Structure 1
Amino acid sequence: MGMPNLWTKAYWLIREVGLAPLFSLAVYRLGLWSGYYRWRTPLGGRKVNASPPLRADVFVLPDPERLAKWSRLRGEDATLEAEEILAGQVRLFGGQPQSLNLKPPHPKRHWSSLHEEDVPGDIKQIWEPARFGWVFPLGRAYRLSGDERYAKTFWENWESFLTHNPVNAGENWLSAQEAALRLIALSFAVQVFKPSPHFDKKCEQSVAEAIIHHARRIEVTLAYARAQNNNHLVSEAVGLVLAAHLLSDWPEARRWRKTGWKWFFWAVEKQIEPDGEYIQHSVNYHRLMLTLALLAFRIAQLENHPFPQKHLNKLGLAAGWLQGVMDEASGEALNFGHHDGAHLLPLGGKIEDYRPILQASMAAFCGERCLPNGGWDELAYWLGYNPAILPLKDDRPVLHGFRRLGHSAEWASLRAHHYVSRPAHADQLQVELWRRGCRLVCDPGTYAYNLPPPWQNGLALAEVHNAPMFNAQQPMLRAGKFLWLRWDQARFLEEGEDEKNSIRAERLAYHRLGIRQERQLEWKGDGHWQVIDRFLPLGSGAVSGKISLNWLIRDGEWRLDEHGFIVDDKRYQLLVRVTSQPIQKMKFRIVRAGQILVGEKINEIDSLLGWFSPTYLTRLPALSFWIETEAGLPFELRSEFQIYSK
């Protein structure tokens, strides 16, 4: 489906997004066009006349013995990643090691003259190393060993950053959010490397001045963050609060603190839904928000700053929501919504493990824990909490937008949400299926925002998710890379009985076509699941068309025979059998890693099929089992899943 015309887009923007964010965006663009931002943030920055004192108390530094124990519990080499960094290699987005590069393409141009599209490749490949997220494995290794190579490597790279990224020049000053997130890493570096002789007075002065320039950069374009009304606003608000804390005696700190707390509390109030779901409808952005909130709460405690109970309650709900979408056996979670690889505090587990942020958030905002003690407790300790002494919460929250069937060792989820904020992916009625920490039926994830087509957020489309489509119609209007309009709404249909074995939901998107769409998820017993998709006419007239369904299955050896689609991996055999009522001739296709293995090419969507992306710029082969048929309504598709352990 092409982009909507200008008037259609304007109508739905005003109706669904609202005038206030559009006004804030207009203010931001006026600031760019008029040269106001260039004037407020001149190349080289406004002069800093004195070096203010620098605080170093945001984190609580665990003793080396405890750090070593946590590493053993996770089965990790405690210094492996730090040694890679000494060799010039970093794991961006939690992926494979690659060369550390802090040199932007346009280091002499003012940030306001730059655009993300000016960069060859994906601009996030420039931004991510300059967030300095790799300081955490370095600092952790330094804390463990006292080896000065780790401190020396960080401060050498910090000097390199200052050399190649003059204040307000180049891509690493383009986004105020990136400036805010860089401050988090700096606050950690200052504290953990403080005993090192490599952190001398000159180094301390350079950090203090950088914090000032970063806070000034954040402050001037808050209109853009308010227009986005998402993690940008939370990041930048916390960035200002953090800058004010680190330089509490600096004259501008009072203003930064006031502005930061104002917009942080506003965001907590407005961006977290009643069941705890975050405004961006994304598990990874949910973690990002909780991480920023933990830092804000820590600073509030250090400064005795009021933190209203109503906001603590909201954040407690958000922590519970994460528990509701996480697999207890693995610590992984639903691959739901956008995933840009953000992992601000990688202390306690790898990027795919959500147990560290869950344990820390429950400890901070609820005064309890929902997991047994383990290596994932580490993040909580760095922030001043000891989960071991907290009571264990053993119930799972009820979520508005997701329902689960099964138990902790085998479960499936169904998505049905009523949107009051912009959807991320066209993923209503999405089903995921798990068995003993193994994700068998998948959501494809994100992969990339800014690479050549189709990798410009292409995995947000309905075709790559697993709710059936009618006549290849997108359920929403796609008005931009990150913008859906005419939102696809869904709701759960209450059966008036205990929903332990069956849940049912309705999607409203195709009402405009005169069609009612329902999905029912049934748990028949361990290893046996069924999904029933129904298309029903809303009126009395005849309705017919093409119905397509895509099941994304974990990669493995496969075959398609009279029994169905069978996939073998090292642990399980999964049998998927699809039938229809009334019986119709169906076409089957198998696509792996964008390559058609069975069936005919349909269109450019084929290159997006058969991929699973666990984090940004990482994509793994998976198997798309595509079913297509022509049918008159009413019509029913039944997908049966049987899991056999090896």
Structure 2
Amino acid sequence: MWFLERLKLVKALGVTNVLRVASYRARLRLGIHPVQKVTTETPAGPFFPSLASERAEEGAGSSLPPPEFLALGWIPVAIDGAPPDWFRYLSSGGQFEPRDMPWWAIPDFNPGGGDIKEVWELSRMDWVPLAVARALDGDAEAAPTLERWLADWVEKNPPSVGPNWKCGQEASIRVLHLAMASLLRPGSPPCGSGLASLLRLHLGRIAPVTGYARGQDNNHATSEAAALFVGGSWLERCGHSEGSRWERQGRALLDRLVPRLVEVDGSFSQHSVTYHRLMLDTLSITEVWRRRLELRPFSDAFQSRASAASAWLRAMVVPGAEGDFPNLGANDGANLLAGLAPRYRDLRPSVELATRLFLNGTAFPQEGGPAEALGISAPARPLGEPESSIFEHGGYAVLREKGAMAVLRFPRARFRPGQSDALHVDLWAAGENLLRDGGSYSYAAEPALQDRFAGPEGHCTAQFDGRDPMPRIGPFLRKDWLDTAFVQWEAGNEGKKRVRADVRDRSGALHQREVELQPGELTVRDSLSGFRERALLRWRLRPGPWEFSGPLSVSDGKHTLRVETTHGLRRIEFRTGLESRYYLQMNELPVLEVELSEPGEIVTRYRWR
């Protein structure tokens, strides 16, 4: 049985992908991987030597951004003082250990040590474009601060040594932030020897490991391909011949990966709004770079899928919520545009940039936003408000009605799932999240705590017999992938907005869910069958003074949720749940649990004023 389960999982992941990952790990353990043989000189500054002379005239600082950026979207980090500690855990202040050994000798997870993402965050260099923007806006201290921080980072992170070299995607994000900073300046990118050396160091780390990234089928591969294309063409433009090889490698990967990982309907292989944003921002920065250097376009397939991905992300922007979005899937603080658009839970800057680039339109024109800062003018073609839409390839139905928005997440089994969120419903009205997803909190948390966010407990869906239908078998891997057996969609401009989907798990339990959105009301009909002892339905509510207003109804004084069921009701009661809207943040929220002891139907009506 164990062997058959693993064989099924290998087939789902893809034999080629599994072999890529296995080969990478085996060669690292044996010490024979090419990345372990890379030798590169340690860069020396200055890195942006002409920046100080490019400052705006005195008094031209009206658009000056704040002197800090928000790590993980919420932790303030000042950029006007001494360099930070590159090995400090942001939440606890503790120190990462070990830091003085080759990156391949450092464990992926350090039990008792903390979350390595906290250490990586400052080394992503979001602060580089922010510092350049401040310098160009007239801040006399920004350029010296930037040089000081870059020099300190290079000194404290020697080539191939320490945790900040452990991930190829992290190195790629640094390259993209350096490129983004150079794009803020008019004309050609800078070509100083210090910057060229820094780019070679990073591309030498990335290029040998793209096979491993491709084996993940996620945004690691798109980030690394983009960094190779951008960094390679940068070096070539500056007269370094080795850059052309990296540029060709990056271009070929992007033209191959984007049509594979982005579905025809724009859905991404990672079922996550924030990971989709990271992928799309990566493509946007790459396209801005390509245009600036007047390089030939990417393939038609690349352009088509980038356009579809832009429309997908636009569909996830909640009306009246200042760019906020459903907390679907993994949410680990990633935001490539953080140095230029610091509000983490605001999709509008990313959507606007991508819309201008790939849809030849404008969705959320913002004066001084990243699109303007990067020199991408707004086409005279406003797209208007998104309508209700279904993304059948990725598994999302978005219902919109008079300022309200509901999203049904139905599983598709083409790519590995990150969370057990089958048939989760997210509800928003008047810009507020009424029925909520759990988020991620921390990838380094204890498995039992992670399951409170990523398992069935973290979603507005049904759970059968107390089990996870897609059990976790690794930090980022689940088995028994679910697929949707039936989908029905009805959402014309007039009349009802309704979707239905059916999912059966490996044990035979069947969840049939119909979601209907009308003005002021969401109705969800759940048919639950095929279980042995119990079926549990959870409604994760907005924080507030919720209490029972009747035997089967609850209210917080403004909103009401009423449950109807014909038979089999075992209990209905409140429990305390958890949510994480920002990585490493955890908040409590009320959860209404409705449990059946025999197959039956539950009709839930949520009304708001």
TM-score interval (norm. to shorter): 0.7 to 0.9
Q: Give yes or no for the alignment of 1:122 onto 2:115.
A: yes
Q: Per-residue displacement from partner, 1:521-554 (whole Å, max 9, x unpaired)?
A: 123x4322221111245xxxxx652011111111
State the alpha-carbon separation in 1 of the partners of residues 580 and 26 from structure 2. Answer: 37
For residue 245 of structure 2, the aligned residue among 247, 252, 255 is 255
Question: Any idea what SS the aligned residue of 2:324 has?
Answer: coil
How far apart are residue 578 of structure 1 and its match?
Answer: 2.0
Q: Is the CA contact (8 Å cut-off) linking 2:184 and 2:373 kept in structure 1? A: no
How far apart are residue 514 of structure 1 and its match?
Answer: 4.0
For residue 466 of structure 2, the aligned residue among 438, 447, 472 is 472
Q: Is the CA contact (8 Å cut-off) linking 1:476 and 1:509 kept in structure 2? A: no
How far apart are residue 557 of structure 1 and its match?
Answer: 2.2
125-134 or 91-100, larger mean C-alpha shift: 91-100
Q: Is the CA contact (8 Å cut-off) linking 1:448 and 1:455 kept in structure 2? A: no
Question: Any idea what SS the aligned residue of 1:132 has?
Answer: coil
For residue 240 of structure 1, the aligned residue among 228, 233, 254 is 228
Instruction: Sort the Cα spacing of 1:577 and 1:416 in 2 relative to 1 into closer, same or farther, 3 A.
Output: same
How far apart are residue 37 of structure 1 and its match?
Answer: 3.5
Q: Supply the AA of the counterpart residue of 2:126.
A: G
How far apart are residue 348 of structure 1 and its match?
Answer: 3.8
Partner of 1:102: 86
For residue 454 of structure 1, the aligned residue among 448, 456, 459 is 448
Partner of 1:603: none
Matches within 5 A, 1:134-213: 134-144=127-137, 146-189=138-181, 204-213=192-201
How far apart are residue 188 of structure 1 and its match?
Answer: 3.8
Partner of 1:619: 586
Overall identity of the aligned pairs, in %: 26
How far apart are residue 66 of structure 1 and its match?
Answer: 10
Partner of 2:345: 352
Q: Give yes or no for the alignment of 1:35 onto 2:25.
A: no
Q: Give yes or no for the alignment of 1:426 onto 2:420.
A: yes
Instruction: Sort the Cα spacing of 1:39 and 1:177 in 2 relative to 1 into closer, same or farther, 3 A.
Output: closer
Q: Is the CA contact (8 Å cut-off) linking 1:215 and 1:256 kept in structure 2? A: yes
Q: Per-residue displacement from partner, 1:421-468 (whole Å, max 9, x unpaired)?
A: 111211121111111111111111111101334344652212221111
Q: Give yes or no for the alignment of 1:588 onto 2:553.
A: no
- Structure 2: gaps of 5 or more residues: 79-83, 88-95
State the alpha-carbon separation in 2 of the partners of residues 587 and 457 from structure 1. Answer: 22
How far apart are residue 491 of structure 1 and its match?
Answer: 5.0
| RMSD, matched Cα | 3.3
Matches within 5 A, 1:337-416: 337-346=329-338, 347-348=340-341, 350-371=343-364, 373-375=365-367, 378-387=369-378, 389-396=380-387, 397-400=389-392, 401-416=395-410
Question: Any idea what SS the aligned residue of 1:102 has?
Answer: coil
272-281 or 407-416, larger mean C-alpha shift: 407-416
How far apart are residue 92 of structure 1 and its match?
Answer: 1.3
State the alpha-carbon separation in 2 of the partners of residues 360 and 148 from structure 1. Answer: 29
Q: Supply the AA of the counterpart residue of 2:86.
A: L
Q: Per-residue displacement from partner, 1:491-536 (whole Å, max 9, x unpaired)?
A: 55437785942524333333x444432111123x432222111124
Partner of 2:521: 528
How far apart are residue 309 of structure 1 and its match?
Answer: 2.2
State the alpha-carbon separation in 2 of the partners of residues 466 and 191 from structure 1. Answer: 43
Query: For this pair of structures, how many residues does the alignment match?
Result: 583
Query: What TM-score does the superposition give when structure 2 sets the normalisation length?
Result: 0.87
Q: Supply the AA of the counterpart residue of 2:201.
A: H
131-140 or 151-160, larger mean C-alpha shift: 131-140
Query: What TM-score does the superposition give when structure 1 sets the normalisation length?
Result: 0.83
State the alpha-carbon separation in 1 of the partners of residues 607 and 62 from structure 2. Answer: 42
Partner of 1:639: 604
Q: Per-residue displacement from partner, 1:164-184 (whole Å, max 9, x unpaired)?
A: 111110000111111111112
Q: Is the CA contact (8 Å cut-off) linking 1:9 and 1:479 kept in structure 2? A: no
Question: Any idea what SS the aligned residue of 1:220 has?
Answer: helix
Instruction: Sort the Cα spacing of 1:497 and 1:303 in 2 relative to 1 into closer, same or farther, 3 A.
Output: closer
Question: Any idea what SS the aligned residue of 2:586 has?
Answer: strand
How far apart are residue 64 of structure 1 and its match?
Answer: 11
Instruction: Sort the Cα spacing of 1:620 and 1:62 in 2 relative to 1 into closer, same or farther, 3 A.
Output: farther
More helix by share: 1
Q: Is the CA contact (8 Å cut-off) linking 1:40 and 1:220 kept in structure 2? A: no
For residue 506 of structure 1, the aligned residue among 498, 501, 507 is 501
State the alpha-carbon separation in 1 of the partners of residues 519 and 5 from structure 2. Answer: 47
Q: Is the CA contact (8 Å cut-off) linking 1:41 and 1:216 kept in structure 2? A: no
Q: Per-residue displacement from partner, 1:287-339 (whole Å, max 9, x unpaired)?
A: 11111111221232223223222221111111111122221322111111111
State the alpha-carbon separation in 2 of the partners of residues 341 and 36 from structure 1. Answer: 34
Q: Give yes or no for the alignment of 1:550 onto 2:538.
A: yes
Partner of 2:211: 223
Q: Supply the AA of the counterpart residue of 1:208.
A: A
Q: Per-residue displacement from partner, 1:46-85 (whole Å, max 9, x unpaired)?
A: 348999999999xx9999999946xxxxxxxx543x1xx4
State the alpha-carbon separation in 2 of the partners of residues 23 and 332 from structure 1. Answer: 39
Q: Per-residue displacement from partner, 1:123-177 (whole Å, max 9, x unpaired)?
A: 0011110001133433333333x12222222221212211211111000011111
22-31 or 148-157, larger mean C-alpha shift: 148-157
How far apart are residue 560 of structure 1 and its match?
Answer: 2.8
Partner of 2:266: 276
State the alpha-carbon separation in 1 of the partners of residues 359 and 400 from structure 2. Answer: 26
Partner of 2:70: 91
Matches within 5 A, 1:18-97: 18-37=14-33, 40-41=36-37, 45-47=39-41, 68=62, 78-80=64-66, 82=67, 85=68, 91-97=70-76
Instruction: Sort the Cα spacing of 1:451 and 1:155 in 2 relative to 1 into closer, same or farther, 3 A.
Output: farther
Q: Supply the AA of the counterpart residue of 1:148.
A: A
State the alpha-carbon separation in 1 of the partners of residues 436 and 487 from structure 2. Answer: 24
Q: Supply the AA of the counterpart residue of 2:500.
A: A
Instruction: Sort the Cα spacing of 1:450 and 1:536 in 2 relative to 1 into closer, same or farther, 3 A.
Output: closer
- Structure 1: gaps of 5 or more residues: 70-77, 538-542, 592-609
Partner of 2:91: none
State the alpha-carbon separation in 2 of the partners of residues 211 and 471 from structure 1. Answer: 53
State the alpha-carbon separation in 1 of the partners of residues 73 and 47 from structure 2. Answer: 34
Q: Give yes or no for the alignment of 1:264 onto 2:225.
A: no
For residue 14 of structure 1, the aligned residue among 10, 20, 23 is 10
Question: Any idea what SS the aligned residue of 2:528 has?
Answer: strand
Q: Is the CA contact (8 Å cut-off) linking 1:272 and 1:279 kept in structure 2? A: yes
Q: Is the CA contact (8 Å cut-off) linking 2:464 and 2:509 kept in structure 1? A: no
